Each structure stands twice: as C-alpha cells, then as structure tokens.
Amino acid sequence: MRENRRPFNHPCRPSATCGAAGPERPPPSLDPIARIPSDRPVLIAGPTGSGKSALALAIARRSGGVVVNADALQVFDAWPILTAQPSPAERAGVPHALYGHLPHDAAFSVGDWLRAVAPLLGGPLRPVIVGGTGLYLSALTEGLAEIPPVPPFWRAEAEARLRTLGTAALAAELDPATRARIDPANPARVRRAWEVLHATGRGLADWQAERPAPLLPLARAEAILLDAPKAWLSPRLARRFAAMLSAGALDEARAESARWNPALQSARAIGAAELIAHLEGRLALDAAEAAAVTRTVQYAKRQRTWFAARMRHWTRLPAADLPRL
C-alpha cells in the first residue's frame, strides 16, 4: 500500500502538470474555447484520460454553464476515484450534474440517462455535456429506440451466460444486423443486445430502426471529439492510475470490499476488480496496477474505434493541445 496520499488531480486538468509547460493561454485564434458560442450546448467526447473534464471545466468557467456527466460509471456513488469523478473543489467552483447520484447497486440504462438529462437541456444554465460513453451521446443526438423494459430473469440469464461463455460466444448468438452494429468486444453492449433479443423477440438493430427524434440534434450543439492517439495517451493512463493509487484508490477499494458484487454495473469501474483481488490476497499490488492499466489502454482503443465510426461529423480537437488551455 502506498503512503503519502495527496489530492488526486487528473492529468491536464488546470491544477495538474502534464508534460512540457505551454503558454498560460494560447492566442485567441488558437483557443478552442474562444470559438465556442456561449449560447449553445456543448458536447465533449473522447477516450478515457484524454482531458475531457479539463476542457468541460474550462468552458464552464470561462463562458458559463453546468457540466453534465455522460459517463456510464460516474453516475454511481461508488468508486469516485477510480471513475475519475470531478473533485469536490471542481464541483464547488462550477455547477455539475449527474455525478455520483446513484447508489452502488442501482441499475442505469441509456434511457435512464436521457430522462435524467432532458430537464437540463431546457434549464437556466447552458449544458456542457462530457463523457466517454459514446452510446449516451449518440442517443442524445440521434435518438433512442423505445425498447420495453427487460425482465430481471433475462438480465440475470444474460449475466450468467456472459460469465460462463464469454463475450465472443454471447455475441455469436445475436442476430446478424445487431452483431454488425455493436462492438463485439464490449461485454456490456453484447449483454444488453442479447437480453433485448431474448426478452422481446426482436434484435436491438430492429428496435433502433424505429427510434424517435433526438432530444438534442447535432446541428444545435457544439460537438467536440478529442483526438488522443495511443502513443500520446497510453503513458498518461499509466500515470493517471498511479495518481489514483496515491489519492486513495486502494482505501476506496477497501471500503467497497464488504459489499463487492462483480455483477453490479458499478463494479465495472476499471481497476475495481484488480484492487479487490489484491485485497483478497490473489494479486500483488504492482500486478493489480499493471492489469488495470492494460485494461484501461484496451478500453481507450475500443472508444477510439467507436468514435471514429460514429462521430465523423464532430469537430476534432487534438487532446495534446489541452495543457495550453
């Protein structure tokens, strides 16, 4: 266990140092915030650790707004460090919404997120919506099919088959149209598609073909996609997990261990299973850290692939420019 805990600052947030120091503020012509109208909603997507929260916070600080979470794991009150939720100081300085508002054992779907975000779109503060869950953002800007609720039996059956057969085998059981649309390596997406198919008798792709108008069409928002190449991002992810450990992630895992249930959505926080395994004596801390970093790098790769396919019309911004904000 590491000593000398220090407050956790995300790489490239305003209070952190990341790489060579740049100018305090870039010239206005190069400043991505200066080009964003203050009266339009802002959408920010990008792989984990790319600096999305730093950009969202800077935009809200300079031109007003509420920072709205679009990350499927940051909605839970469990694992605030491992899921890189905004710090108390950041939340005190700028309004934030949909962070850590659900108990650790809650179930939460993209439909639930849309219902939660809808009132914020017409609220008094301009929403700055930020997160790495691409499905949330595409549902917001493209619409979401109104799929009937899945009975608990089918959800439990999907979880059981996922544990025993694995993601690839479960994906092979999907209808061809759905299998072609989702990321077959993403267990959460595969599980969801499988349970919808068996609970409703229709594939997810079939339901999505009937989706209604979006809550926030892309043309009405400023949509930014952070470009974070692997060579630039991977070292940052390793440094970020080390910073999480120094900030108390192991203590966080110790506090969660008594109620640990790997079947919960909140348990999918990357690093959670590894740190629990360390606390149970099944994995050395260094090995747990290495495994968590590897999983994070793999997740970032899947995000980049998804964003490249689904967010071609978003404005790309090099993530390496963010330290100069």
For each of the chain's 325 residues, which pLDDT tens digit applies?
Answer: 333 333 334 433 433 333 333 334 444 335 777 888 888 999 999 999 999 999 999 999 999 999 999 999 999 999 999 999 999 999 998 999 999 999 999 999 999 999 999 999 999 999 999 999 999 999 999 998 888 888 989 989 999 999 999 999 999 999 999 999 888 888 888 999 999 999 999 999 998 888 789 999 999 999 999 999 999 999 999 999 999 999 999 999 999 999 999 999 999 999 999 999 999 999 999 999 999 999 999 999 999 999 999 999 999 999 998 765 5
* Tokens at 188, concatenated: 């959460």
Q: Tell whether 63 and 118 lie within a shared domain.
A: yes
181 and 259: one domain?
no
Please report whether residue 6 resides in a domain. Answer: no
312 CB-contact burial (10 Å; exposed 0-12 / middle 13-18 / buried 19+) = exposed
Together in a domain, 33 and 121: yes
The β-bridge relationship of strands 222-227 and 96-97 is unpaired
Q: What is the CA radius of gyration of the chain?
A: 20
Check whether residue 183 and residue 224 sit in a common domain.
no
Backbone angles phi, psi at 128, to 5 degrees: -115, 95
**How far apart are the C-alpha atoms of 77 and 99, rounded to whole Å?**
8
Classify residue 4: in a domain, yes or no: no
d(CA 130, CA 86): 12
